């Protein structure tokens, strides 16, 4: 995976290398306007486009978006179908833009649970952008961090059982290498919108030392200026990593 700075820009020390976002509040945004929830998701897609563009401008290397959680499968079938169609359309429409802007797409999660047509669009976009070396855009789809940790543990257990590694070999580095994010640096900044103060099963292992910024705005209202304000807040903090 590319470690080049996005869009060929120099990234300053106070710009996070990796931003992860819990995009919350699409439904509430729609409800407040008397609109169907699907309208909130469509409006949220525009905020995604703007977040990608802003990260490119700032020189961020990685942007991970919590697009569909493993718990989201419990939503009404009609809403899930609508979300999957929106994802397919988003990937189809944004692929030329990603190619033009040198964005490389990745996806993490239990992707096998997604509809076949959805997986085809994802795989096509991943394949066509694989040689891009600007911003890495990571979509967390059918993603749950506890499930990720269980999957990693199971894979390690199989290797121990086959004698490929011994229990003494297991440390944080080895464990990290079995996560979906094995080739991605841990997030420096985690943003959650809509004012909720929860992690919601997102990157639990990876955000151990991430700075957290909560925005009161619902995701469709979270735009360029809001993301820049979150990065400014990050820059004002002194990251100690357990030291003084």
List pLDDT tens digits, range 184-196: 999 999 999 999 9
The catalytic site residues sit at 24, 72
pLDDT value at residue 241: 66
Half-sphere exposure of 110 (CA within 13 A, CB side): 17
164 domain residue, yes or no: no
When divided into structural domains, the chain yields a total of 1
155 domain residue, yes or no: no
What number is the average pLDDT over the span 150-163? Answer: 98
81 domain residue, yes or no: yes
Provide the residue range defining the domain that includes 232.
6-144+186-236
Are 148 and 179 in contact by the 8 Å Cβ rule? The answer is yes
State the average pLDDT for the chain: 93
The CATH number given to whatever domain includes residue 33 is 3.40.1180.10
Question: Does residue 244 carry a pLDDT above 60?
Answer: no
What number is the average pLDDT over the span 29-33? Answer: 96
What number is the average pLDDT over the span 41-62? Answer: 96
129 domain residue, yes or no: yes
Query: Rounded to whole angstroms, how far apart are CA atoms 65 and 19?
Result: 9
**Two structure tokens written together for 21:** 């976002």
What number is the average pLDDT over the span 140-168? Answer: 98
Question: Does residue 218 carry a pLDDT above 80?
Answer: yes
Residue 239: band (very low, low, confident or very high) from pLDDT cuts 50, 70, 90: confident
180 domain residue, yes or no: no
231 domain residue, yes or no: yes
243 domain residue, yes or no: no
Are 32 and 105 in contact by the 8 Å Cβ rule? The answer is no
Neighbours of 211 (CB within 10 A): 18
**Two structure tokens written together for 133:** 């070396």
Closest CA to 192 of 96, 8, 40, 65: 65
Are 54 and 16 in contact by the 8 Å Cβ rule? The answer is no
175 domain residue, yes or no: no
Question: Does residue 52 carry a pLDDT above 80?
Answer: yes
pLDDT in tens, 71-81: 999 999 998 99
């Amino acid at each position: 995976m590319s470690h080049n700075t996005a869009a060929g820009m120099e990234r300053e020390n106070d710009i996070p290398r990796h931003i992860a976002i819990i995009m919350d509040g699409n439904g509430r945004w729609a409800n407040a306007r008397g609109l169907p929830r699907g309208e909130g998701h469509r409006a949220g897609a525009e905020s995604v486009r703007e977040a990608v563009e802003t990260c490119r401008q700032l020189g961020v290397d990685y942007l991970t978006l919590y697009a569909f959680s493993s718990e989201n499968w419990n939503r009404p079938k009609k809403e899930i179908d609508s979300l999957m169609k929106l994802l397919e359309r988003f990937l189809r429409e944004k692929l030329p833009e990603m190619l033009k802007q040198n964005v490389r797409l990745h996806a993490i999660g239990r992707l096998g649970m997604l509809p076949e047509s959805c997986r085809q669009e994802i795989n096509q976009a991943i394949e066509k952008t694989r040689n891009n070396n600007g911003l890495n855009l990571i979509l967390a789809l059918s993603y749950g961090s506890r499930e990720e940790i269980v999957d990693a543990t199971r894979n390690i257990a199989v290797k121990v059982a086959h004698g490929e590694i011994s229990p003494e070999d297991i440390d944080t580095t080895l464990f990290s290498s079995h996560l979906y994010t094995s080739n991605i640096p841990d997030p420096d900044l985690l943003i959650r919108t809509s004012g909720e103060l929860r992690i919601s099963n997102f990157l639990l292992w990876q955000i151990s030392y991430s700075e957290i910024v909560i925005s009161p705005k619902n995701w469709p209202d979270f735009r360029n200026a809001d993301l820049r304000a979150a990065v400014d807040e990050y820059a004002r903090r002194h990251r100690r990593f357990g030291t003084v």
